[in-house]
Structure 1
Amino acid sequence: MTLVTHTSIAALNICFYGAGSMAEAIARGLISQELIAADRISMLNRSNAERLTELSSKYGVRTVLQGENNEHFLRNADIIFLAMKPKDAAEAIASIRPLISSGQLIVSVIAGLSIGSIELLLGAKLPIVRSMPNTSSTIGLGATGISYSEAVSSEQRAIAEAIFQSIGINAVVDEPLQESVTGISGSGPAYVYFFMEAMMKAATELGLDDNVARDLVVQTVLGAAEMVRTTGEDPAELRRKVTSPNGTTQAAIELMTERGLQDSIIAGAKRSAERAGEIGAAIERNISE
């Protein structure tokens, strides 16, 4: 990140409309990476005062509990993060339409919601960033897909990418590929957890203690991911290196292949991407009604 970008972010006011786990992860990344002071971040939701109290106490961000109202936060924000649940998105975004101005950058972290839908709800061709972070963002190891509307300036692009770099890595993709990002990295952590569940179950069925099973599986997955990252080698090549002819690993891989593990993972990722499109279509239908 350039000094200019860092300075640019530090001078901004950022408002999160929605105060769930993803909003918290991004706010925490910004604060922990010292990109912006906590008192320049505001977080709001519709009714959960307990959640706002928690966030204010934990990070020092501003909420309505300090005496300012949501309208003030939204009008005075340079960047507004749309972080509400998809089912609430259309109504919530339409409700803030009178408060939004052309100079603000709108960043959506709502699965399935297109840039065109956001423009329709806000009634203008604004600078809009559509993003798809994943839950690993909460520990600074997220993977985020980013797409831009035509109105986003080069400086705004740099700021958006710096923000998401504070919680992991990001990839800029054409908007039609956002569903693909959802199918791979958005839902991806759950696939890995599902695999780990099966590994742990196998370990206990093989007689290992639950705690030992957990430690071995966690370290095995962590080590394998780090091997791919640090060596730069293709996972298929690393797999071949550990798979001796007629050995134990080959026996396992052959059975997993026979039972369709790889095909199931590919089909599942594609179904996740397809479902993301369905969710977006449902939101769009809701807008047009």
Structure 2
Amino acid sequence: MQKIIFIGAGSMAEALIHGWIKKNVINPHALFISNRSNKERLNELVESYDVNLLEDHTHLRDADLVILAMKPKDARAAMEVIAPHLSADTAILSVLAGVSIDTIEQHLGSRPIARVMPNTSATIGMSASGIAFNNHVTDVKRALYIQMLEAIGIVIEVEEEKLHAVTALSGSGPAYLYYLVEAFEQAGAEFGLSKEIVRELMVQTIAGSAEMLKSGNLEPSLLRKKVTSPGGTTEAGIKALESMSFNEAIVNCVRSAENRSRELAREE
């Protein structure tokens, strides 16, 4: 693509920019960024990635792809601003939680629109993304979008309705895992281990466990049982988690995030 414009310059926009440039998928000179008011943030991204500032909305007319990456609460106002400047050929890729394709079409017209929910691990090429398309996306464009996203991780096509669940699982998932590591650091501190030691141990443990899940055909429950000797230390820990309704807490966590995604959709 010759010209890709980001409307919004938050953490997800930066993760995509960083991932695409690092993987040599897109030339930074083809990327333009804009946001509502934070000039300092824009200048920071320009200096870090050698991308371009979108200084005039009239430059939207020759954009191949516009990426909606503002806060969901700002989406309606932002789309009203950019709508008059888009050409009929410009496609839209939205990373906004809860903002439906129908809503985007209402504001930006009938055109190729895709909604994707990546996560911030796109920065290192390890995103897990879900994507949905409207009927105007051709097979060629569909393949192009998927290729762009596969360069920064995995991408799975789902029905748009399922993006609420994808948002709650993989979109928010990194935060849950970081929160888990914080808890392990707190636990380690109780036994005199430094934060640095606990982090090194747990990061490798999480990475190794992820590789075990990826490389084998065993269910997570069977892998867990292979670690859990009867009467051993792991079993004692598992019983403590069960006593605190660990599974229920995780389900409620994901359910709350999924509900919030639906609330954002209703607030459009």
Same fold (TM over 0.5): yes
Is 1:113 aligned to 2:99, yes or no?
A: yes
Gaps of 5+ in 2: none
Q: Which residue of 1 aligns with 2:45?
A: 55
Shift of 1:35: 2.3
Aligned partner (choices 14, 24, 28) of residue 18 of structure 2: 28
Is 1:280 aligned to 2:261, yes or no?
A: no
Deviations 1:23-47 (A, max 9, x none): 1221222222222221111111222
Is 1:221 aligned to 2:206, yes or no?
A: yes
CA-based RMSD of the aligned residues comes to: 1.4
In percent, how many aligned pairs have the same letter? Answer: 43
8 Å CA contact 2:31, 2:51 repeated in 1: yes
Moved over 6 A (4+): none
Alignment of 1:1-289 (within 5 A): 9=1, 12-64=2-54, 69-72=56-59, 74-122=60-108, 124-283=109-268
8 Å CA contact 1:15, 1:41 repeated in 2: yes
Letter in 1 for 2:139: S
Letter in 1 for 2:124: I
Q: Secondary structure at the match of 2:155?
A: strand
Once residues 115 and 194 of structure 2 are traced to their aligned partners in structure 1, the CA distance between those partners, rounded to angstroms, is: 45
Letter in 2 for 1:37: N
8 Å CA contact 2:57, 2:82 repeated in 1: no
Aligned length, in residue pairs: 268
Q: Which moved more, 1:49-58 or 1:127-136?
A: 49-58
Calculate the TM-score normalised by the size of structure 1: 0.88
